[in-house]
Each structure stands twice: as structure tokens, then as C-alpha cells.
Structure 1
């Protein structure tokens, strides 16, 4: 896929995202309504899309364990690197370290990766195993560090169990697990039911991107006020982590072809939108988290065509 082709495929992404920014900036649509659109996408449309597609997928091909193992190893390297960098830059609070790990390693799957993959490849199925790994493993690491550094009532074990339990029963995770279970059990669902899920799921991509655009348009973007810490985190997330994923997956795990491209592009996605939610919940670096979500989204959108070209020439 050439750079021009990649740009053409990303035009719908830019349109939905940019329209949200424009309408919020001109106050045609209130920026505060981005939460309503985001909730619809995250709590309803995206789970419908994930469930229908996982149910109909070939799980043996979808869960390529060598590819998933390579991505997990790359993520582990990135976690260590960000953790050390955070400590060296003077971040002593465990919650602050965990937040930076989340910003540098986790990816925005539901709001960004799913629509981008649909535009580029016509299918977001390769994201599903990474999404489950991110929720069930990476989020567990972040939550564990957050809870251990949180001065709150109750023992660390109780707080950790409560937080992990809450993350595992989100609609996105439940939809993925339900799709896998019904697929493995070969449960037959009527075509009308699957068509209904597909109808709602098709709205997930544009609505999620529109919501992100509304948020950006309302929050504004102050490039001049970007701190050095924000710069290195954005650079790590959008440039270093995809390169680490490419090197580890290709040379240590022998991943090639389409899966290598998928994993590199997934790693190149921006910081997750729930970074801001975690920052609010644990009362740590809230303003910086909002800036990282917005600025890494813009940086990722600009760099994606280059990463597409990289995977073509070096994959």
C-alpha cells in the first residue's frame, strides 16, 4: 500500500475527526456533548461491532499466538523503558509512574484503532486479541501500581480486586468474551440478530471519531505549551513503541507479512482515551493526561501513513 493510497483510505477518518473539531470550535455542537457520543460508541456501538465480528471470525487465524506473544514481549519492554524513564525524570509517586506507562504503552483501540483499521483494511479483527491482552494484562499492571500507591480506605488487595473486577465487566470486554464463547460453542445465531449487531456496529467508527474531534475542538490544542515530558511520552508512544514492536516481533518472534503490519500499526495508535478517566479516578496529573490523549491522537494521525510505508518496505 503506497503513501497516497494510505492517505486516501484515511480520508474518512480525517473527515469524521475534523468535522467534530470544526463543529465544536464554531460552537455548532457543544463540545460537552462529546461524552454522549463517546458513551454511545464505547458502551453500545463498539461492543456490537466487536461481538458480531468475533462471533463470525476464524479464531484459529485470529489468535496467532506467535504474533500475540511478540506484541506482549514488545509491550513488556516498553513498560520497563517508560517506568525507568519516568523515575529518571523525577516521578516518584507510583500512580504517576503507572499513568505514564499507560500513556506510553496502551493504545486507543475502541475510539481510534477500530475505525482506522476498518478504513485501511476493511476489518478490525486483528485488534481483538490485542484489545483483550491490553484489558486483561496491561490494565491489570497499571491498576495494580495505581492501587498500591493510592491513599484510600481498605486494604490494597480489596481495592485492587474491585478495580480489576470493574475493568473486566466493561461492555467491550464482555462483548469480546461473549463472541469468543459462542464461536467456540458453535451456537447458531439468527441472521436477523447478526444483521442488527452489524447495523449498530457500523456506526461505531464515525461516531467514535466524531466524539474525539468534539473533545479536541472543545479542549483546544496549545502546541507552544507542550512540556518536555509530554513530548517524550508522545514520541515514545507514536514512534518508539511501534519501532520496538516491529523489531521484537520480526527478529525475536519471526512475525512477518500482514500480522507484522497489523502489530506495528496497532502500536502506533495514540494514548488511550481512558487515560484521562484513570487520572481523574486516582487524582494524578489530570491536565497532562488530557493533553496527552489529544496531542498523541493528532501525532498518530499524521504518522500513520509513514508507518504504513515502513511496514511495506521493511515487513
Structure 2
């Protein structure tokens, strides 16, 4: 319980600081865009590289990761099906599918893993799966959907290698797999830059709330409700069914996969939406509402399965 509340408190305070910065105009009219670009092109790739370069890649083959992967695919697939039927467009549907399934495994997942699950490493399979599997695929789709039709095929095939976040993730995996040791004078500045990623994302999100309307209003209401419902209720429910019915997980292992699946949509999804200028309102509102709803959901999950 303490881990859930303390993790959300940290996020709320930093977002609140961003909102005040936006209200006061301390960073000027382009403050949010500058922070977004800093996070997307510089800080986040550095953070992902340092996170994955020293990660234990054997967690990729764990049974709990399969539950995460299948539950992610299930709820994202539901949103994609509805998006195709409603003709929401490739970019908007991709952002919505991410908001339905991409959990906040970093700045919120780690403290909750420590205080609720008792081990920060338990969130590693989700983190690795999202960074190595989901993120490069989703950003490639966004790149291709906004790149125009005149690019040659070879350039489109190399799209993941031009995306800074995908490059940072894949480089980190390569270093970890090869067992390469990076000397301190090289590692330390990269790690220092990476430490800017989470606060930059949260501050940019807070700034974006200035002057915004209340959530669940306007043309994005249906998409937001669908994304939030899938994220807050659908994904943990699917994870529980798969964990118990298919993989036979019980006790601490069951609590682990359901808690991580019940985490809200990650704030960095707003960075992706802003960088590609698609689905920004959808991402902002889905992240905000799913974060609020995940508090009672996580409390209930911890009480029932803990």
C-alpha cells in the first residue's frame, strides 16, 4: 500500500511542478516542445541504453514475460480492431493501442515493485519487453505512417535504425548480450544525461495540462474511454486469466504479473505522441485518467492477491 501511494505521490508532485511552470511561463511558449525533444532525442535514448546495457537478458525467457506479452497483445489488438472499424487513422490508433497496453514500468513500476512486490528486478521483464519489443515496432509504425509515400523501400526498412529511442534500446541490448564493459568516463556522462529523461517527460506532461480542457470531453472521448478501460481493467484481468488458467501461476508470481499489468499508461507515450504530432490529446487524457484509476485498482489487487 505504501509503495503504491508513494510512487504516485512522486509523479504527482513533478507533474504539478510542470503545471506551475506552464502557468508561470518560466520556460516560454516553447518550453514543453523543448523538453519533449530533449527527452525523445537525447535523454530517453541514454536512459534506455544504460538500463539495458547492464540488464540480465535471461528474464526475456521467463514465463511471466509471456503473460505480459500476451496480455499486451490482447488489449492492444482490441483497440486496433476498434480503431480500424472507426477509421481513426494509423497514427492515432497506434497511440491509442499504446495507451491501452504500455505500462509505466519505469518511474512508477520500480518503486511499486520495491514496496509492494519486495524486489525491483521483478519489473525488469516488462521493462525489457516494452523497450526492446513494443517501442521499436510502435515507433516504426509511427515513422512509416507519417513519412510519406515517396521514400524508397530500403529507407523504410531502415526506419528503426533512425529512431533515437529504438537505437538506444537496441544498442543497450547489444552491449549486454556481448558482455562489453563500458569504462566509467564513458558510462557516467551517458547515465547523467539519461537521468534527465523521467523528470523531463513528467514536467512536459505537467506543462501540457495548462489551459487544457477537462478529460473525457470532445471528439476523443470514445477513444480515451476505450484506452482507459482496456488499460485499467482489461489488461490486469487478461493477465490474471492467463496467469492462472494457462500458466498456472500462484502466490507471489501471480501477484507480480497482475500488479505490473495494472500499472497505468506510461507518461513517455505523451512524448511519442507529441514528437509525431498525432493523438496528443488522446495520450494526455488516457495517461491522466488511467493514472488516477490505477490507484484503487492496484490497492484492490494487492489486497486480494497479496
Say whether 1:49 aligns with 2:47. yes
- Look up the match of 2:108: 116
- Look up the match of 1:170: 163
Aligned partner of 2:38 among 12, 36, 40? 40
Say whether 1:291 aligns with 2:281. yes
Aligned partner of 1:63 among 60, 67, 73? 60
Q: Tell me, which stretches of 5 or more residues in structure 1 are unaligned?
A: 281-285
Paired with 1:272 and 1:250, the residues of 2 have a C-alpha distance of 30
Q: Tell me, which stretches of 5 or more residues in structure 2 are unaligned?
A: 115-119
Structure 1 residues 192 and 276: CA distance shift in structure 2, 3 A: closer
Say whether 1:83 aligns with 2:80. yes
Structure 1 residues 207 and 237: CA distance shift in structure 2, 3 A: same
- Look up the match of 1:283: none
Paired with 2:38 and 2:101, the residues of 1 have a C-alpha distance of 16
3-state SS of paired residue (1:272): helix
Aligned partner of 1:21 among 19, 22, 27? 19
- Look up the match of 1:231: 225
Aligned partner of 1:207 among 200, 220, 229? 200
Deviations 1:267-286 (A, max 9, x none): 654692223555x4xxxxx5
Aligned partner of 2:188 among 191, 195, 213? 195
TM-score (norm 1): 0.76
TM-score (norm 2): 0.77
